[in-house]
Amino acid sequence: MDGNGRWAKKQGKMRLYGHNVGTESVRACCEYAVEHGIRYLSLFAFSEENWNRPQDEVNGLMELMLKSVLGERETFRKNNIRFRVIGDRSRLSGQLLENIDMVQDETASYTGLTLIVMLSYSGKWDILQASRRYAADCLAAGKELPLDETGFAAYLATAGIPDPDLMIRTSGEQRISNYMLWQCAYTEFYYTPVLWPDFRKNDLELAIQSYNRRERRYGKVE
Ligand code: IPE
Ligand code: MG
């Protein structure tokens, strides 16, 4: 979800205003996903690198996260949405964690859309934490445990969640920015110049139409 700051600047407003309006885009995309039976929608809300932004902006984003989590409880219930947060929990505040956990528990048995918010997340962090946990299991077992791709994926923070079919990047940037590095091995990428606060259902529709025209061969021929 990129381009909030530039969007705000264009309106002569503070960056946080852009982040706020960006939550409207989140709502629109969730609605679209529910309406079209999309099973998983993950949103890159805050990266490990984003901790290096000015403290005011970081605080504002964390407050916005807390407000959204609490504010959307009713939407989750009504729409059968399972809510998950994935990322480095050690950097999040106790209050935010408590509320995230509450809403995760509350929605754990919902069977519609799984909405995943990547918060304090980065792809390299995920691969490292998975490697550390695998190494710890080996130590505990006193031997090198067998490991294959499926086994390694089970150590990732995204365990149990299918790899993304489509990755959409807004605001004209064309890079992966440390997103799901392992999980995106065969993901289709879609880039749009639209800034995140302007990204609405019709933009998501265009991205999915583009995806539907593609042929996925996974390195094979036909
Ligand atoms: C994306 O918008 C939101 C977050 C990273 C939290 P940006 O804040 O990156 O907006 P730009 O890139 O400065 O326009
Ligand atoms: Mg940006």
Query: How does DSSP assign 182-194, residue by residue?
Result: TTTTT-EEEE---
Return the beta strands (E) in 20-74 as ranges. 40-47
Q: Is the pLDDT of residue 180 over 80?
A: yes
Distance from the alpha carbon of residue 2 to the mean position of ligand 2, in angstroms: 5
Catalytic entry in 2, 4, 126, 203: 2
* Nearest of 91, 15, 113 to residue 56 by alpha carbon: 15
2 catalytic residue (yes or no): yes
Q: Is the pLDDT of residue 222 over 90?
A: no
Q: What is the per-residue pLDDT for 129?
A: 98
Query: Predicted confidence band at 185 (pLDDT cuts at 50, 70, 90)?
Result: very high
50 catalytic residue (yes or no): yes
The CB of 164 under 6 Å from ligand 1? The reply is no
The CB of 1 under 6 Å from ligand 1? The reply is yes
The model's pTM: 0.97
Distance from the alpha carbon of residue 72 to the mean position of ligand 2, in angstroms: 24
Q: Can you count the helices (H) and strands (E) in the chain?
A: 8, 5
Distance from the alpha carbon of residue 12 to the mean position of ligand 1, in angstroms: 16
